[in-house]
Amino acid sequence: MFGIQYWDITMKKSNGELMLDAATKLFAENGLAGVSLSEVAKGAGVDDAEVTKLFGNEEKLYETVLESQFGNYAARMGAVFDKGGSPIDKIELLARAMFDVYKQAPYFFPLFYRELLNPSPFFESIVIKNIRHVAYLSDNNNTKGIQKGQLKRGINPAYATMFLAGMFHYYFLASRLEGSLLPQPANDEEYLSQAIKVFLTGLNKGV
Amino acid sequence: MFGIQYWDITMKKSNGELMLDAATKLFAENGLAGVSLSEVAKGAGVDDAEVTKLFGNEEKLYETVLESQFGNYAARMGAVFDKGGSPIDKIELLARAMFDVYKQAPYFFPLFYRELLNPSPFFESIVIKNIRHVAYLSDNNNTKGIQKGQLKRGINPAYATMFLAGMFHYYFLASRLEGSLLPQPANDEEYLSQAIKVFLTGLNKGV
């Protein structure tokens, strides 16, 4: 969301954007403790001094990366709930939005999983804050689905959010590697549509 | 299951076991690159020289930890398929076995997630080998369930394995931290039984 308009017009990214892109990739691959400003400068093709001037130190740069990535995620997922549609429509849109982020912002999920394994000083203020916001919207949508008689009673709406998210998180965690855990290369669209089907059937009121 | 019998009799672990326990915890928390033999010695309450003598170097020690943890996991999960019972019974037993590992070997899952984020030299030989073995048994069980008319046709049996595993992996990844993503502290048994119910209803043939 950083300078998108400028980029669309000129097709050329600013040095600030290049540094942020390089930093996002490096932090996703190596974690906060595994990246130096020098490596970011090298990745962005700029001088070390330029990174220091704009971002200060590794921790400040990491904070900027997390803010951008988690802000973007929360905005993309939150947009699902701004529009009309039944709770069931929104469950499908939410699942599709997760896949869109996976494709369009491929470093977001590794950053998130690293934070879950080794929380940084920004875990509460950025990670939990944004993830909780999305979870809250989804939990409320599930509750509405139960109240409207579209989803079955007796299932904890917050657990249901985790069931749906988990089906995709494990896919993202496992399939970003060559030599995936699946016997054949997975088809994203097929996986997504079967997961939504199993989830919605599993929560079907009539059953 | 290193020296279990000895331990059961004397209630005292050998130094080798203490070193392995300390190493397992440290590698799960900090990864292969984040642990020294000295820290392991300190954690086990032995001399540095004793760790070096028994395990050589960090990489050899890490390999021993992975072999023990992934071997234990594959054995525990594989045991589900050695007994009688319908494919549906086995899906429930498999889910319960995952939870047992989560409780009894709490460092196994963080070690696995770290390997998925940053594969070590043992990724193919230990991680993939054991995880594929379990996935293969589960995929075959799902296929049998479809053939017997207990699970619905049209669902990819390997995707179904990932749906089930994913519901639990995300729970393990998210809930091992204080300040979980759930609004209230989760109840393991409730989460487990609702996940199994949603999964089995989602795959129900009749629907």
List the domain boundaries for chain B.
13-56, 63-203
> Does the beta-carbon distance from B158 to A199 stay under 8 Å?
no
A155, A158, A204 member nearest B183 (Cβ): A158
Q: Name the band, by pLDDT with cuts 50, 70 and 90, for residue A133.
A: very high
Among A118, A110, A13, which Cα is nearest to A65's? A110
Q: Which of residues 126-185 of A touch B (CB under 8 A)?
A: 128, 131-132, 135-136, 139, 155-156, 158-160, 162-163, 165-171, 173-174, 176-177, 179, 181-184
* A28-32, A196-200, B172-176: range with highest mean pLDDT: A28-32
Question: Residue B109, Cα to own-chain centre: how many angstroms?
Answer: 5
In angstroms, rounded to a whole number, what is the distance separating the alpha carbons of residues B189 and B20?
Answer: 30
Chain A residues close to B197, C-beta within 8 Å: 155, 202
**pLDDT tens for each residue of B4-42:** 445 555 568 899 999 999 999 999 999 999 999 999 999
**pLDDT tens for each residue of A64-123:** 999 999 999 999 999 999 988 999 999 999 999 999 999 999 999 999 999 999 999 999
Residue A22 has pLDDT above 80, yes or no: yes
Q: Mean pLDDT across the stretch B157-164?
A: 93
A176, A198, A204 member nearest B203 (Cβ): A198
C-alpha distance from residue A68 to each of A130, A196, B27 (Å): 11, 28, 30
Q: Do B162 and A170 form a contact (C-beta atoms < 8 A)? A: yes
- Of all residues in chain A, the one with the smallest CA distance to B158 is A182
Query: A204 — contact with chain B (CB < 8 Å)?
Result: yes
DSSP-based three-state secondary structure for A31: coil
Q: Mean pLDDT across the stretch A25-49?
A: 96
Query: B204 — contact with chain A (CB < 8 Å)?
Result: yes
What DSSP string describes B171-203?
Answer: HHHHHTSSS-SSSS---HHHHHHHHHHHHHHHT
The number of residues in chain B equals: 207
Q: Where are the alpha helices (DSSP H) in B87-128?
A: 87-104, 108-117
Mean pLDDT of chain B: 89
- Of all residues in chain A, the one with the smallest CA distance to B113 is A173
Q: Cβ–Cβ contacts within 10 Å for residue B61, how many?
A: 25
A165, A198, A199 member nearest B170 (Cβ): A165
Q: What's the pLDDT at A1?
A: 45
Spell out the residues 6+ positions from residue A29 whose beta carbon is closer than 8 angstroms to its own: A110, B118
B33, B132, B194 member nearest A181 (Cβ): B132
In angstroms, rounded to a whole number, what is the distance separating the alpha carbons of residues B48 and B54?
Answer: 10
The CATH topology of domain B13-56 is: Arc Repressor Mutant, subunit A (1.10.10)
Q: Mean pLDDT across the stretch B105-118?
A: 95
DSSP-based three-state secondary structure for A172: helix
Is A63-203 in the same CATH topology as A13-56? no
Distance from CA of A97 to the nearest CA of B (A): 18
Q: Mean pLDDT across the stretch B47-73?
A: 97
In this structure, of A104-113, B106-115, B186-195, the range with the lowest mean pLDDT score is B186-195
Q: Name the band, by pLDDT with cuts 50, 70 and 90, for residue B1.
A: very low
Q: Name the band, by pLDDT with cuts 50, 70 and 90, for residue B128.
A: very high
Please say whether the structural domain A63-203 has been given the CATH code 1.10.357.10.
yes
In angstroms, rounded to a whole number, what is the distance separating the alpha carbons of residues B56 and B48?
Answer: 11
Residue A151: strand pairing partners: A204
* A148-157, B49-58, B171-180: range with highest mean pLDDT: B49-58
Spell out the residues 6+ positions from residue B118 whose beta carbon is closer than 8 angstroms to its own: A29, A30, B31
A117, A118, A163 member nearest B167 (Cβ): A163
Mean pLDDT of chain A: 89
Q: Mean pLDDT across the stretch B119-127?
A: 95
Query: B197 — contact with chain A (CB < 8 Å)?
Result: yes
